Amino acid sequence: MTSPESATNRPLGVAMIGYAFMGKAHSNAWRNVASFFDVPAFEQKLLVGRDAAGVEAAAAKYGWAETATDWRSVMDRGDIDIVDICAPGWMHAEIAIAALQAGKHVLVEKPLANTLAEAEAMAAAAQAARAQGVQSMIGFNYRRVPALALARELIADGRVGTVRHIRAAYLQDWLADETAPMSWRLNKETAGSGALGDIASHAIDQVLFLLGDRVTEVSGRLHTFTTRRPGAAGMEDVTVDDAAWATLSLASGAIASVEVSRVATGRKNALSLEIYGDKGSLLFDLENLNELHFVDATAPAREQGFRRILVGEPEHPYLEAWWPQGHIIGWEHTFTHEIRDFLTAISTGTPPSPSFEDGLEVQRILNAIEESAAAKSSTILLARTT
Ligand code: SOE
């Protein structure tokens, strides 16, 4: 099983499955990436969605050459080398495993899957495909915020010393209105979980990414504030959480608190991270994503205090490719960086990060939070996997 493009040296053919919010964000990235970064040649060949008229309209808008209504048709096409999965979580495992087995490189949106069993099957398929030169990556796009990539570098360079604790919060309010309608995101069958899988997955991935650490113990709590919402069939049961809390113990001895909500009135898309070490600390807030606040506790006491780093220099991660210094970027650029890293990994044959195994690790932690919450006040020990 070798990827087909290597035989002919033609541009990589890309198919995207799903064209809603994430499909739009990824399409924008596919359209822009080659204008800013040196990436291997590729073509936006095919957009797949179940509704023929909807997918055609989206393809015309987002620059995809053709459309299809059945994702299975992608797997036999010799001109498709990359499958980008932006469909809802309940479809991830089946599509990703089929694509990997057909020798296609796969990028999949987070969370990896809706269940631990599906995530395990996906990680196993990714491992088998990798041995054949077929790459896979999970789209935790916030790893590609330049300020967070810089924070990771500063932590790795020892600039905050030994990290003692980290606060990760991801707060939104699109469900604060109790009359907001039912959707697939509020049903356990289709979404797997609520705020937990949707946004705690990001917060937990950041803890692992920033610290390069491993979670050993989890204690969690989940809550659903509005248990019934208007749906197509009248009032329907909400079967996922509105908000989740967890404390995580890390192998290094650090402790993380994670707090996520989709009913935090006034908060729109507020991912914040605070990292406290014995030599310094870092603060990040997605609502000001070009800023990182850093205190260097080794400086003389009378000079200490948080200083604001405007992450807009060509020396900062990813930024050399964009604008002259100080000309800042936005949320959508994180997806461009993600596609750039994925394409680079394919062309160099280097497995990209975060891998499906990284996605599985996040899924294990999400699962442990659910188990701990269900058991009320228990702590779940996570088995060492590597
Ligand atoms: C919706 O809650 C959502 O779009 C998530 O699904 C994304 O992953 C996050 O980036 C923003 O919020």
**ipTM associated with this complex:** 0.92
**Model pTM?**
0.96
Instruction: Report the separation in Å between the CA atom of 240 and the middle of ligand 1, taken as the mean of its atom positions.
Output: 16
**146 prior amide bond cis, ω within 30:** no
- Nearest atom in ligand 1 to the alpha carbon of residue 262 is 2
In DSSP terms, which residues pair with 171 in a beta bridge?
A: 261, 270
- Judge residue 57's burial from the number of C-beta atoms within 10 Å of its C-beta, 0-12 exposed, 13-18 middle, 19 or more buried: middle
Instruction: Report the separation in Å between the CA atom of 199 and the middle of ligand 1, taken as the mean of its atom positions.
Output: 6
Sign of CA dihedral 85, 87, 91, 95: negative
Mutational pocket test of ligand 1: of 143, 172, 184, 198, the residue with most ligand atoms within 8 Å of the beta carbon = 198
Instruction: Report the separation in Å between the CA atom of 235 and the middle of ligand 1, taken as the mean of its atom positions.
Output: 25
| DSSP codes joined into one string, 3-38 | -THHHH-PPEEEEEE--SHHHHHHHHHHHHHHHHS-
Which pLDDT tens digits describe the chain residue by residue (386 residues)? 444 455 568 999 999 999 999 999 999 999 999 999 999 999 999 999 999 999 999 999 999 999 999 999 999 999 999 999 999 999 999 999 999 999 999 999 999 999 999 999 999 999 999 999 999 999 999 999 999 999 999 999 999 999 999 999 999 999 999 999 999 999 999 999 999 999 999 999 999 999 999 999 999 999 999 999 999 989 999 999 999 999 999 999 999 999 999 999 999 999 999 999 999 999 999 999 999 999 999 999 999 999 999 999 999 999 999 999 999 999 999 999 999 999 999 999 999 999 999 999 999 999 999 999 999 978 888 876 65
Instruction: Report the separation in Å between the CA atom of 19 and the middle of ligand 1, taken as the mean of its atom positions.
Output: 15
In DSSP terms, which residues pair with 215 in a beta bridge?
A: 250
Instruction: Report the separation in Å between the CA atom of 196 and the middle of ligand 1, taken as the mean of its atom positions.
Output: 11
Please state, in angstroms and rounded to a whole number, the distance separating the CA atoms of residues 221 and 66. Answer: 45
- Nearest atom in ligand 1 to the alpha carbon of residue 202 is 8
Instruction: Report the separation in Å between the CA atom of 286 and the middle of ligand 1, taken as the mean of its atom positions.
Output: 12
Q: Which residues line ligand 1 (CB under 6 A)?
A: 21, 172, 198-199, 269
- Nearest atom in ligand 1 to the alpha carbon of residue 141 is 10
Nearest Cα residue to 17 out of 116, 107, 82, 83: 83
Q: Give SS3 for 64.
A: coil
Mutational pocket test of ligand 1: of 269, 271, 366, the residue with most ligand atoms within 8 Å of the beta carbon = 269
Nearest CA to ligand 1 atom 1: 198
- Antiparallel, parallel or unpaired: β 228-231 and 234-237: antiparallel
- Nearest atom in ligand 1 to the alpha carbon of residue 174 is 2
